[in-house]
Amino acid sequence: MNEEAILYWWAIVATLKRGELDQYRIESGTIDTPEADAYVLPNRIVFVLDPVRTGGITAQRWLDPATWHELSAALGGRRVFVSNADRLAVTVARTPGQDIL
Partner 1 sequence: MRHRAVYRLIAALLALGVLTLVACESTGVQPVGTYTWATAPGSDLSAHAATATAAVIQATAEAVRRQQTVDAARVNLSAQETRATQEALAAAQAEATRVAAEATAVVQSTLYAEATIRSQSDFATLAAQLTTEAEFGATQTSVAGTMTAEAASLAATATDQAVRLTSTAEALSIEATGTAISLQATQSAVAAALERRRETLLTVLVLAAAVVAAVAAAAVLLGWDSLVHRPAANGPRTEVLQDGPCPPLTILPDGTVQFPLLSPEERTCTLTREQLNEVYDWAQTRYLDDRATRTIAERTSRLAPGLRSVRTLRRLDQAVTAGAISPRLAAVLEADWQSGGHDE
Which residues sit at the interface with partner 1, rule CB under 8 A? 1-2, 5-6, 9-10, 13, 22-30, 33-42, 44, 46-48, 50, 53, 55, 63, 65, 68, 79-81, 83-87, 89, 91, 99, 101
> In this structure, how many other beta carbons lie within 10 angstroms of the beta carbon of residue 31?
16
CB of 99 to partner 1, least distance (A): 5
CB of 41 to partner 1, least distance (A): 6
Q: Residue 20 or residue 37: which is nearer to partner 1 going by CB? A: 37
Q: What sign does the dihedral 15-16-18-23 (CA atoms) show? A: negative
Q: Residue 9 or residue 74: which is nearer to partner 1 going by CB? A: 9
Let me know: does 36 contact 90? Beta carbons within 8 Å. Answer: yes
Q: Residue 74 or residue 79: which is nearer to partner 1 going by CB? A: 79
Instruction: For residues 50 and 54, give the distance between their C-alpha atoms in angstroms, rounded to a whole number.
Output: 6
CA distances from 37 to 6, 56, 100 (A): 11, 17, 24
Let me know: does 47 contact 12? Beta carbons within 8 Å. Answer: yes
CB of 26 to partner 1, least distance (A): 6
